[in-house]
A and B are shown apart, each in its own frame.
Chain A
Amino acid sequence: MELDKIFVGLFSIGGIVFTYWFFLMRKDEEAVVVSTNSVDIAVDGGYSPRVISIPKGKKTTINFFRRDSSTCLEEVVLPEFKIRKYLPLNRKVSIVVNPKESGSYEFACGMNMFHGKIVVE
Chain B
Amino acid sequence: MKEIKQSFPIRGMRCASCVKVTERALKKVPGVTDAVVNLATERATVTFDTENCTSQQLANSVATTGYTLELEDQNEEELKAEKEKDLSQLRSKVFISLLLGALILWGSFPGIMSTAPVFLQNFWIQLLLATPVQFWAGAEFYRTAIAALKHRTSNMDTLVALGTTVAYFYSLFVTVFPEIPMKLGMEAMPSFDVSAIVIGLVLLGRYLETRAKTGTSEAIKKLVGLQAKTARVVRNGKDIDIPIEQVQVGDVIRVRPGEKIPVDGVVFEGDSSIDESMISGESIPVDKTKGDTVIGSTINKSGTFTYKAMKIGSETMLAQIIKLVQEAQGSKAPIQKLADAVSSYFVPIVIMLSFTTFGIWYIFGPQPAFLFAMLNTVAVLIIACPCAMGLATPTAIMVGTGIGAEKGILIRDAESLETANKINTVVFDKTGTLTHGKPDVTDVVSLGKVKESKILRIAASIEKGSEHSLAEAIVKKAEEEELELEKVTKFKAIAGHGVEGTVGKDKVYFGNRRLMEREKVDYQTANELLSKYENEGKTVMLLAVNGKLIGLVGVADTVKETAKAGVKALQKRGIDVVMITGDNHRTADAIAQKLGINRVLAEVLPDQKEAEVRKIQATGAKVAMVGDGINDAPALAAADIGIAMGSGTDVAIEAADITLINKDLKSVSSAIELSKKTMRTIKMNLFWAFGYNVVLIPVAMGVLYPFSGILLNPIFASVAMALSSVSVVSNSLLLKRVNV
A contacts, CB < 8 Å to B: 1, 5, 8-9, 11-13, 15-16, 19-20, 22-24, 26, 44-48, 50, 68-73, 77-79, 81-86, 88-95, 110-115
What separation, in Å, do the CA atoms of A70 and B345 have in the docked complex? 20
- The digit string for B131-162, where 1 denotes a CB below 8 A from any CB of A, is 00000000010011111111111111100000
18 A-B pairs whose Cβ atoms sit less than 8 Å apart in the complex: A8-B358, A12-B358, A12-B359, A12-B362, A20-B352, A26-B153, A45-B143, A45-B148, A69-B143, A69-B144, A71-B209, A82-B328, A95-B72, A111-B390, A112-B339, A113-B153, A114-B151, A114-B155
Interface check B654, CB cutoff 8 A: no
A111:B331 contact, CB within 8 angstroms = no
On whether the beta carbons of A114 and B206 are closer than 8 Å, the reply is no
Which chain A residues lie closer than 8 Å to B356 at the CB level?
A: 12, 16
A23–B350 Cα distance when bound, in Å, is: 12
Point out which of B72, B149, B373 has the most chain A C-beta atoms below 10 A from its C-beta.
Answer: B72
Tally of contacts, chain A with chain B, CB under 8 A: 159
Chain B residues, CB < 8 A from A20: 348, 352
> Which of B348, B362, B389 is in CB contact (< 8 Å) with A5?
B362
Secondary structure class of chain B's binding surface, majority of residues: helix
Find the A residue at minimum CB distance from B147. Answer: A45
**Hey, which chain A residues are within 8 Å of B140, CB to CB?**
69-70
Is B259 interfacial (CB-CB < 8 Å)? no
Chain A neighbourhood of B391, CB < 8 A: 110-111
Contact across chains for B363 and A68 when beta carbons are under 8 A apart: no
Q: Are B348 and A19 in contact (CB under 8 A)?
A: yes
Asked if residues B143 and A70 are in contact (CB atoms below 8 Å), the reply is yes
B387 at the A interface (CB under 8 A)? yes
**Across-interface contacts of B362 in A (CB, < 8 A):** 5, 8, 12
Question: If the complex has contacts A12-B358, A45-B145, are A50 and B348 also in contact, measured as CB distance less than 8 A?
Answer: no
Residues in A whose Cβ lies below 8 Å from that of B152 = 22-23, 26
Expressed in whole angstroms, the Cα–Cα distance for A5 and B362 within the complex equals 7
Asked if residues B390 and A12 are in contact (CB atoms below 8 Å), the reply is no
C-alpha gap A95/B326 in the complex (Å) = 13
- Structural contact, A72 and B144, CB atoms closer than 8 A: yes
Closest to A27 in B: B152
Contact of B359 among A13, A23, A79 (CB under 8 A): A13
Of the candidates B54, B153, B209, the one whose C-beta lies within 8 Å of that of A23 is B153
Contact A83:B82 (CB < 8 A) given known A12-B358, A113-B390? no
Interface contact A93-B351, CB-CB below 8 Å: no
Contact A93 B387, CB 8 Å, known A26-B152, A112-B343, A114-B148: no
**Chain A residues, CB < 8 A from B54:** 91
- The distance from the CB of A3 to the nearest CB of chain B, in whole angstroms, is 12
Docked Cα-Cα span, A73 to B330, in Å, equals 15
Complex Cα–Cα for A73 and B147 (A): 12
User: Which of A23, A84, A94, A115 has a CB less than 8 Å from the CB of B329?
Assistant: A84
- Shortest Cβ distance from B414 into A: residue: A79
Q: Within the assembled complex, what's the spacing in Å between the Cα atoms of A114 and B351?
A: 17
Partner of A79, one of B70, B156, B331: B331
- The closest CB in chain B to the CB of A112 belongs to B390
Cα of A79 to Cα of B348 in the assembled complex, Å: 24
Q: CB distance A8 to B330 under 8 Å? A: no
Per the 8 Å Cβ criterion, residues 336-378 of B in contact with A are 336, 339-340, 343-345, 347-348, 351-352, 355-356, 358-360, 362-363, 373
Give the nearest-CB partner of A11 in chain B: B359
Complex Cα–Cα for A70 and B202 (A): 13
Bound together, the chains give a CA A114 to CA B347 distance in angstroms of 11
Asked if residues B154 and A23 are in contact (CB atoms below 8 Å), the reply is yes
* Contact assessment for A72 and B143 in the assembled complex, using a CB-CB cutoff below 8 Å: no
The chain A residue with its CB closest to the CB of B343 is A112
Q: How far is the CA of A82 from the CA of B82 in the complex (A)?
A: 25
Q: Which 6 A-B pairs have the closest CB atoms?
A: A45-B147, A12-B359, A111-B390, A84-B330, A46-B151, A79-B332
CB contact under 8 A between A44 and B387, given known A15-B355, A23-B153:
no
Which residues of chain A come closer than 8 Å to B55, judged between CB atoms? 91
* B632 is an interface residue with CB less than 8 A from chain A: no
18 more CB-based (< 8 A) A-B contacts, given A90-B56, A91-B54? A5-B362, A8-B363, A13-B355, A23-B348, A72-B155, A72-B157, A79-B331, A81-B330, A83-B327, A83-B330, A84-B394, A94-B70, A94-B72, A111-B155, A111-B387, A112-B336, A113-B153, A113-B156
Partner of B147, one of A1, A68, A84, A111: A68
Determine if B413 is an interface residue (Cβ-Cβ < 8 Å): yes
* A115 x B344 contact (CB < 8 A): yes
- Measured between beta carbons, the chain B residues less than 8 angstroms from A45 are 143-151, 153
**A44 in contact with B147 (CB, 8 Å):** yes
B16: chain A residues at CB < 8 Å are none
Shortest CB distance B467–A (Å): 45
Residues from chain A with a CB closer than 8 A to the CB of B345 are 24
Say how far B692's CB is from chain A's closest CB, in angstroms.
15
- Complex Cα–Cα for A22 and B149 (A): 9
A78 to B157, CA, bound (A): 23
Knowing A72-B156, A93-B72 touch, does A19 contact B351 (C-beta < 8 A)?
yes
A9 and B355 CA atoms in complex are apart in Å by 9
Among A47, A50, A82, A83: residue with most chain B CB under 10 A: A82
